[in-house]
Every structure is written in structure tokens, then in C-alpha cells.
């Protein structure tokens, strides 16, 4: 049992001295940050692990083929009439195989999801920038892209209506002629 602390007047002091409070609060903030990082890395790790599970067999298969081709080439180099031509063929084979492997990786759902997220992030950034520019121009009382787009839309709708009216008149003229 912790003895109660008293000051010189005999009054009971608080159980924890006040100077411990900032330390405790700082510790709580650090713990919360660590929880956030752990959650993020767990999720990222899980995503990476899922993606790796999806592409690993394909990558392993293609690397095995390329290694086999290298091994075979090393074995037959001495018997070839023109060893450097074989090197060229091998380089070409490796590049084509690597290309095929990349295409297989690009055809996975993990890649599609990631690239979709990447594109979305980029587009969100562009939209945010556009909004900032709009607000800036508006504050300077200058026409914005939004203002021009309104005009474009009005012109588009007008020209569409005129086109359909002309078609309608031509069709009724043709029907009367027949």
C-alpha cells in the first residue's frame, strides 16, 4: 500500500505527482502510433503476401525455364560452330521469356487491383489540384475551367438540338417527297 504524501501543512497530496502526467500522455500517443503502424503493416503485408501467392508460381516457372535454357546453352557452347550467335539467340530468348512472365503477372487480380488504386490515387491528386486552381482563379475574379465548361455544355446542347431539328425537317421533307 502506497503511503499518502502530505505537504508541510499536513494536507494530502495527489497520488501521482503532476510531473508524471506528460510522460504518461506521451507514452499513450506513442502506443497509439505504434498500433496504427502495426495495423497498416499487417494489412500491407497481407496484401503483399496475397499478391506474392498469386504470382509466385508463374514467376518460378519462367525463371526455371530461363535457367534451363542457360544451362543447356553452357553445355552445348563448345559444339556450336558460331558460339556468339548462340549468345544472341539466348539473349533474345531470355527477353521474350521475361516479357511473357511480365504479361502473366499483369494478368493477375492483385496487379489489376493495385494499378486501379494507383490510378485512382493519381486522379484524386489531379482533382485536388484542379480544385485549388479553381478556387485561386475565383478569388482573383478570373474565369475558371468550370465557367468555360458550363459554356461548352450549353453550346453542345444547343448544337445537338439544332442537329436533331434539321434531321427531323429533312426526314419529314423526304417523306412528303415520296
- Point out which residues bind other proteins (CB under 8 A): 78, 80-85, 92, 95-96, 98-99, 102-103, 106-107, 109, 112-113, 115-116, 119-120, 123-124, 126-127, 130, 148-149, 152-153, 155-156, 159-160, 163, 167
Q: How far is the CB of 151 from other proteins (least distance, A)?
A: 8
Query: How far from 157 is each of 141, 148, 152, 160, 162, CA to CA, in Å?
Result: 27, 14, 9, 5, 9
Q: At what angle do helices 21-76 and 109-139 cross, to 10 degrees?
A: 130
Question: Which residue, 34 or 122, is less far from other proteins as judged by CB?
Answer: 122
Gap between the Cα atoms of 117 and 45, Å rounded = 17
Q: How far is the CB of 39 from other proteins (least distance, A)?
A: 23
Question: Which residue, 28 or 149, is less far from other proteins as judged by CB?
Answer: 149
Q: What is the residue-wise DSSP string for 118-159?
A: HHHHHHHHHHHHHHHHHHHHHHTT---HHHHHHHHHHHHHHH
Q: How far is the CB of 31 from other proteins (least distance, A)?
A: 36
Question: Which residue, 37 or 156, is less far from other proteins as judged by CB?
Answer: 156
Question: Which residue, 78 or 176, is less far from other proteins as judged by CB?
Answer: 78
Q: How far is the CB of 177 from other proteins (least distance, A)?
A: 13
Gap between the Cα atoms of 126 and 130, Å rounded = 6
Amino acid at each position: 500500500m502506497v503511503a499518502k504524501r502530505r505537504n508541510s501543512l499536513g494536507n494530502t497530496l495527489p497520488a501521482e505527482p503532476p510531473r508524471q502526467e506528460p510522460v504518461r500522455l506521451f507514452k499513450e500517443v506513442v502506443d497509439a502510433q505504434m498500433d496504427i503502424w502495426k495495423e497498416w503493416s499487417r494489412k500491407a503485408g497481407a496484401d503483399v503476401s496475397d499478391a506474392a501467392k498469386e504470382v509466385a508460381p508463374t514467376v518460378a516457372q519462367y525463371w526455371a525455364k530461363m535457367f534451363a535454357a542457360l544451362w543447356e546453352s553452357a553445355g552445348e557452347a563448345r559444339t556450336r560452330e558460331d558460339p556468339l550467335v548462340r549468345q544472341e539467340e539466348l539473349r533474345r530468348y531470355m527477353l521474350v521469356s521475361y516479357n511473357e512472365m511480365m504479361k502473366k503477372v499483369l494478368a493477375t487480380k492483385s496487379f489489376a487491383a493495385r494499378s486501379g488504386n494507383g490510378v485512382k490515387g493519381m486522379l484524386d491528386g489531379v482533382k485536388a489540384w484542379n480544385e485549388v486552381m479553381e478556387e485561386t482563379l475565383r478569388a482573383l475574379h478570373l474565369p475558371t475551367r468550370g465557367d468555360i465548361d458550363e459554356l461548352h455544355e450549353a453550346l453542345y446542347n444547343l448544337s445537338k438540338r439544332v442537329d436533331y431539328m434539321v434531321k427531323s425537317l429533312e426526314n419529314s421533307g423526304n417523306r412528303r417527297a415520296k
